[in-house]
Homo-oligomer: A and B are copies of this chain.
């Protein structure tokens, strides 16, 4: 855990549909994501981690905004925005779709929800994809509207999440496959229920489609979770690093740590063999023609140094050979671990160091996810 500073609450930072409910529930720290406040923890991140692993937690993830693309050319535009082929994607199905700029560098990695043949949501990480996607659609002269709809995801995550969601919606939710979703209601509150979420512990996301019902939805979900010991929490850095999940903004960001899909281990989602046109295709073809100079990997970190709160250089014999982007204490492995990008010719190096504020610390690269290391 990194230390907390004070955050000034102004009109420039958007409030989630669940903002009042999270204050009521005792949120203790926020971050900012897509210009919106997002809870960071409720006072005890270690307990939130444990409940995520062995029970169930609920998270305000409304800052995971939606970019809606709708109209006759919506499917064409969505396909043009991502290197991943979308043929065969059914209505009611989600897909993880990395987005690259024209230089083939990652600018976001949303989940795509296909709501209809001519209607899609990109559930985006922390960058203004709505501006980028709209510009491309307009410049190509395509008939597709791009905008941010009134949608506020609420996540229920953990091995007991399915019990909470079944108690709320019925047993049909047990049959929902990973990334599948359905439009439904809860006591008249309109939402899209998806089997998804930013952890590897299983769970659901409720995409509320009318923000006026934020507090009511939060309270109904909290009440249904109480018998299962559910507590409020937030996307958990320790669990997501253990699981190797990508976080655009931390692991890479165009302006800070530029990275292409091959370096990030997402090369299988780049369809250069297929014929479909997409942003960055020429640049990605060039990048694919030689092995990536860097590769994403995990790191085991000596001792118990505090997280620096920013990216730090990895060194080998004094030379910079990569970047450590995340550092957490892993309760599962009972040691400090991290994520980063490392030069491909040093993946076996045993004597790497990282420049932490408290001094140099030895790190050892390992394969992802960390589960395999056990």
The minimal Cβ–Cβ distance linking A324 to chain B, given in whole angstroms, is 9
Chain B positions within 8 Å of A28 at CB level: 6
Interface size (A, Cβ < 8 Å)? 58
Chain B positions within 8 Å of A35 at CB level: 126-127, 249, 253, 255
By the criterion CB–CB under 8 Å, are A31 and B11 in contact?
no
Query: Could you tell me the distance between the alpha carbons of A5 and B23 in the complex, rounded to whole angstroms?
Result: 10
A148 within 8 A of B: yes
Digitize A102-126: 1 where CB-to-B-CB distance is under 8 Å, 0 elsewhere: 1000010000000000000000001
- What residue of chain B has the Cβ atom nearest to residue A27's Cβ? B5
Task: Scan residues 69-118 of chain A and give those whose CB is less than 8 A from a CB of chain B.
Answer: 101-102, 107
A136 within 8 A of B: yes
By the criterion CB–CB under 8 Å, are B12 and A33 in contact?
yes
Chain B positions within 8 Å of A130 at CB level: 254-255
Digitize A121-154: 1 where CB-to-B-CB distance is under 8 Å, 0 elsewhere: 0000011111110111011100000001000000
- What residue of chain B has the Cβ atom nearest to residue A128's Cβ? B128
- What residue of chain B has the Cβ atom nearest to residue A283's Cβ? B138
A247 within 8 A of B: yes
Query: Could you tell me the distance between the alpha carbons of A2 and B35 in the complex, rounded to whole angstroms?
Result: 17
Chain B positions within 8 Å of A136 at CB level: 135, 139
By the criterion CB–CB under 8 Å, are A29 and B5 in contact?
yes
A65 within 8 A of B: yes
The quantity of this chain's copies bound in the complex is: 2
Chain B positions within 8 Å of A128 at CB level: 127-128, 131-132
By the criterion CB–CB under 8 Å, are A11 and B309 in contact?
yes
By the criterion CB–CB under 8 Å, are B32 and A13 in contact?
yes
Query: Could you tell me the distance between the alpha carbons of A253 and B254 in the complex, rounded to whole angstroms?
Result: 23
Q: What are 24 A-B pairs with beta-carbon distances under 8 A? A: A4-B8, A5-B7, A5-B9, A5-B29, A5-B30, A6-B7, A6-B28, A8-B29, A10-B250, A10-B309, A11-B249, A11-B309, A12-B33, A12-B249, A35-B126, A107-B131, A127-B131, A128-B128, A130-B255, A131-B131, A131-B254, A139-B140, A148-B254, A148-B255
Besides A130-B255, A135-B279, 15 other CB < 8 A contacts? A3-B9, A5-B6, A5-B30, A8-B29, A8-B41, A10-B40, A11-B309, A12-B31, A12-B126, A35-B253, A35-B255, A127-B131, A128-B128, A132-B132, A135-B135
